[in-house]
Amino acid sequence: MEFAQIATVAGKEFWDRIRNRWVLAVALVFTAFALSIAYFGAAQQGTVGFRSIEVTIASLVSLVIYLIPLIALVLGFDAIVGERERGSLDLLLSMPITRVELLLGKYLGLAGALAFSTVAGFGLVGLVLSAQLDLAALFHYFGFMLSSVLLGCAFLSLAVMLSVFAADRTRASGLAIAMWFFFVLIFDLLLLGALVVSGGQWGGEVMPYLLLLNPADVFRILNIFALEDVRTLYGLATVFPPALARSDLLGLVMAAWIALPLVIAAWRFRK
Partner 1 sequence: MIVARGVHKHYGAIHAVDGVDLDVRAGELFGLIGHNGAGKSTMFKMMLGLIPVTAGEIRIDGAMVAGHGGANGDFRAVRRKIGYLPENVVLYDNLTGLETLQFFARLKGVSQADNHALLERVGLTHAARRRVREYSKGMRQRLGFAQALLGKPRILFLDEPTTGLDPEAIRGFYAILRRLKGEGVTMVITSHILAEIQERVDRLAIMAAGKVQACGTVQALREQMDLPLWFSVRVAPEDFEAVRAALGHLPVGAIEAHDDHIAVQCRREAKMAVIAALATLDGKVRDLGVHEPSLEDVFFGFSD
**21 binds partner 1 per the rule CB under 8 A:** no
Binding span for partner 1 by CB under 8 A among 34-42, 90-98, 170-178, 192-200 = 90-98
Q: Which stretch binds partner 1 (CB under 8 A): 1-9, 113-121, 221-229, 248-256?
A: 1-9
5 near partner 1 (CB under 8 A): yes
Does residue 87 bind partner 1 (CB under 8 A)?
yes
Using rule CB under 8 A, residue 20 touches partner 1: yes
CB of 102 to partner 1, least distance (A): 9
Which residues 6+ apart lie within 8 Å of 262 measured at CB?
Answer: 103, 104, 107, 157, 160, 161
Across 204-243, b (16+ Cβ under 10 Å) vs e yields eeebbebbbebbbbbbbbbbbeeeeebbeebebbeebeee
Told to check if 79 binds partner 1 by CB under 8 A, we report no
| Choice between 101 and 217, CB closer to partner 1 | 101
Site size toward partner 1 (CB under 8 A) is 20
Closest to partner 1 by CB, 91 vs 226, is 91
Q: Does 246 bind partner 1 (CB under 8 A)?
A: no
Comparison of 19 and 232: residue with beta carbon closer to partner 1: 19
**268 near partner 1, judged by CB under 8 A:** no
With binding defined as CB under 8 A, does residue 2 bind partner 1?
A: yes
User: Counting contacts by CB under 8 A, is residue 191 touching partner 1?
Assistant: no
By C-beta, is 48 or 93 nearer to partner 1?
93
How far does CA 223 lie from the centroid of its chain?
A: 13
Footprint (CB under 8 A) of partner 1, residues 91-120: 91-97
What CA–CA distance (Å, rounded) separates 212 from 221?
Answer: 9
Q: Which of 21, 52, 86, 259 binds partner 1 (CB under 8 A)?
A: 86
Q: Which is nearer to partner 1, 88 or 132 (CB)?
A: 88
Indicate the residue among 85 and 229 with the shorter CB distance to partner 1: 85
Contact residues toward partner 1 (CB under 8 A) are 2, 4-5, 8-9, 12, 16, 19-20, 86-88, 90-97
